[in-house]
A and B are shown apart, each in its own frame.
Chain A
């Protein structure tokens, strides 16, 4: 799992083999006590960070016991009654939960089909530009929306496409039919995809551009000399070069399929209604933080967390099986 593992052993082995003399203060593994004293400053440096992970990650993780309890705020977390798996049974028997699951998967699938290829296409277009200045300019502009908050993105879409927004004002002035995009459950899913494309398609090109720039220029040259036209070069040189990264990203996206833009959904849930916009995360928010049903919400959240972790794990396994690098080793 550790990204470090391989280089760690590699490096240490190399240092041992070369038989370097001990540098004062560091060097070969001494007794525990010696190492502890040697690393005292480093351990002090990392203490605040470690404390953070202990409290806000592992502390929070421990708080998941609430999913097995009938939480009464007055009694507190530890004094509340254990109820076994009652909360989970309630969640799994709840139509609203399954509706949220279906919505989540549906949106994730739509994103996979309609969003995923767009950055790839844009990256190819950018990569094919021969003038660097043009490419940099387009890149700079296209990355920008990634850094705007979802609040701003949703507000911009609302202002431009809303009932009294720019588009409808223009259409109205031209005596054309106005369109009903914002707050319309039928149009919601395409709208969500459009927002994701607007916000993140530029940013998504980064990783593809990195892969494209790694392709050896000589391969193109050799192919061209052998008479391969642009399409054949694309098919036989470019595609094989970026296949690993495309496969990796696809698999990782599948592993993360239970998360689809919580903030984006929550911001628009009120205007289109839960029927169209409820995903697992917004259901947890609604049931737990709005209605105060902490046991149900924590159980739904934990269920999602565990299944999500298993999916990421499985996705990595598949990636390795296919001979690709996963997110971790």
Chain B
């Protein structure tokens, strides 16, 4: 990198027209992502009056209200689904991280007993992912249908995450291990006291990848679980994409209830917010090259 944030001396001054074209292209990119969010968030906070006044859509609510959110959190389907999603995400991410760390750490040792064949067998699954039908039959025969385990166990380890973490462990200097061993530390101690504290960035990225995938999952919930067990994304699918009425909001007199559009947008916001909240933490690491380094290896 030359002078931070500046134009290198050899580069000619850009033409105003080029600059303008670039500016427009960037602005369009940013607006195409942000405007839909703005509209959705605004609509979710809109009062019925705003919705009717805007012909169903609101760029900026004149009379903001939390009614839609109160309605969906007042128990009922969305509130329950939110708990399911949160629980599956937290438990799933913890389990996935623990198993991925153990496997990646063992496989990062170049002379591990049986390490080579195990690694080959795992990498082969990348070439040949498990099929939908045999997966379903296995989950069924393990009596996991209608159990939240079905949303976690079959997806416990992601090969890509495993390779990223293993690569990171291998990139730590060999001397570190040797010094710890000379101090008499066993593998368990080395992992906990030396390797993991040094791997925070990689663990954060992998952990957040797992969390995002658990939070976003809906398809397997739709085939493994009945509607009493659905996570938020599957509920969102049914009520926003499928257009079904949320049973617990259609009751009561029309005036007291938020417009269906507002409720739908509120559900959409609730499903999106956790991603947007963790995103800045994730984003911080992209630039650090944790991923690009791993992708290349």
Find the A residue at minimum CB distance from B156: A52
Binds A, one of B5-13, B60-68, B86-94, B249-257: B5-13
Q: Once the chains are docked, how many angstroms separate the CA of A133 from the CA of B287?
A: 13
Binds B, one of A39-47, A90-98, A105-113, A184-192: A39-47
Asked if A164 and B56 make an inter-chain contact with CB atoms under 8 angstroms apart, the answer reads yes
Asked if B199 CB lies within 8 Å of chain A CBs, one says no
Known: A7-B110, A142-B29. A288 touches B55 (CB 8 A): no
Asked if B176 CB lies within 8 Å of chain A CBs, one says no
Asked if B132 and A224 make an inter-chain contact with CB atoms under 8 angstroms apart, the answer reads no
Asked if A176 CB lies within 8 Å of chain B CBs, one says no
Asked if A147 and B275 make an inter-chain contact with CB atoms under 8 angstroms apart, the answer reads yes
Asked if B48 CB lies within 8 Å of chain A CBs, one says no
Report chain A residues within 8 Å CB of B173: none
Residues 260 to 279 of chain A near chain B (Cβ within 8 Å):
262-263, 266-267, 270
Chain B: minimal CB distance from A40 (Å): 9
Asked if A84 CB lies within 8 Å of chain B CBs, one says no
Would you list 27 pairs from A and B whose C-beta atoms are within 8 A, ordered by A residue? A2-B116, A2-B119, A3-B163, A4-B170, A8-B116, A23-B181, A35-B111, A45-B102, A45-B106, A45-B187, A46-B107, A76-B141, A125-B22, A141-B30, A149-B215, A151-B233, A155-B264, A166-B39, A202-B33, A207-B295, A210-B296, A221-B8, A288-B132, A309-B127, A312-B127, A313-B127, A327-B126
Contact of A217 among B8, B57, B237, B283 (CB under 8 A): B8
Report chain A residues within 8 Å CB of B4: 132
Asked if A56 and B130 make an inter-chain contact with CB atoms under 8 angstroms apart, the answer reads yes
Interface centre among A149, A169, A210 (most CB of B within 10 A): A149
Interface SS of chain A = helix
Asked if A66 CB lies within 8 Å of chain B CBs, one says yes
Asked if A136 CB lies within 8 Å of chain B CBs, one says yes
Asked if B227 CB lies within 8 Å of chain A CBs, one says no
Report chain B residues within 8 Å CB of A77: 137, 141
Give the interface size class of chain A: 35 or more
Report chain A residues within 8 Å CB of B114: 43
Asked if A61 CB lies within 8 Å of chain B CBs, one says yes
Q: Once the chains are docked, how many angstroms separate the CA of A134 from the CA of B19?
A: 13
Known: A29-B111, A61-B128. A2 touches B123 (CB 8 A): yes
Known: A48-B99, A56-B154. A198 touches B32 (CB 8 A): yes
Q: Total A-B pairs in contact (CB under 8 Å)?
A: 293
Asked if B286 CB lies within 8 Å of chain A CBs, one says yes
Asked if B295 and A152 make an inter-chain contact with CB atoms under 8 angstroms apart, the answer reads no
Asked if B182 and A61 make an inter-chain contact with CB atoms under 8 angstroms apart, the answer reads no
Asked if A42 and B112 make an inter-chain contact with CB atoms under 8 angstroms apart, the answer reads yes
Asked if A60 and B138 make an inter-chain contact with CB atoms under 8 angstroms apart, the answer reads yes
Asked if A133 and B134 make an inter-chain contact with CB atoms under 8 angstroms apart, the answer reads no
Report chain A residues within 8 Å CB of B138: 55-56, 59-60, 63
Q: Once the chains are docked, how many angstroms separate the CA of A100 from the CA of B29?
A: 33
Asked if B241 and A207 make an inter-chain contact with CB atoms under 8 angstroms apart, the answer reads no
Report chain A residues within 8 Å CB of B56: 164, 166, 169
Chain B: minimal CB distance from A254 (Å): 15
Residues 96 to 142 of chain B near chain A (Cβ within 8 Å):
98-100, 102-103, 105-107, 109-114, 116, 118-138, 141
Asked if A17 CB lies within 8 Å of chain B CBs, one says no
Asked if B191 CB lies within 8 Å of chain A CBs, one says yes
Asked if A49 and B103 make an inter-chain contact with CB atoms under 8 angstroms apart, the answer reads yes
Report chain A residues within 8 Å CB of B123: 1-3, 328
Asked if B112 and A39 make an inter-chain contact with CB atoms under 8 angstroms apart, the answer reads yes
Asked if A36 CB lies within 8 Å of chain B CBs, one says yes
Report chain A residues within 8 Å CB of B233: 149, 151-152
Report chain B residues within 8 Å CB of A131: 5
Find the B residue at minimum CB distance from A49: B103
Asked if B134 and A60 make an inter-chain contact with CB atoms under 8 angstroms apart, the answer reads yes
Asked if B11 and A4 make an inter-chain contact with CB atoms under 8 angstroms apart, the answer reads no
Asked if B57 and A166 make an inter-chain contact with CB atoms under 8 angstroms apart, the answer reads yes
Asked if B245 CB lies within 8 Å of chain A CBs, one says no
Report chain A residues within 8 Å CB of B25: 125
Asked if B268 CB lies within 8 Å of chain A CBs, one says yes
Asked if B36 CB lies within 8 Å of chain A CBs, one says yes
Asked if A154 and B121 make an inter-chain contact with CB atoms under 8 angstroms apart, the answer reads no
Other than the given A56-B153, A59-B138, 15 more pairs (CB < 8 A) read A24-B182, A26-B111, A43-B106, A57-B125, A61-B134, A63-B131, A63-B137, A125-B25, A169-B56, A173-B55, A206-B292, A217-B2, A220-B10, A224-B11, A281-B132
Report chain B residues within 8 Å CB of A49: 99-100, 102-103, 156-157, 162
Asked if A138 CB lies within 8 Å of chain B CBs, one says yes
Q: Once the chains are docked, how many angstroms separate the CA of A145 from the CA of B275?
A: 10
Report chain A residues within 8 Å CB of B237: 151, 155, 267
Interface centre among A38, A59, A144, A267 (most CB of B within 10 A): A144
Residues 134 to 180 of chain A near chain B (Cβ within 8 Å):
134, 136-145, 147-152, 154-156, 158-160, 164-166, 169-170, 172-173
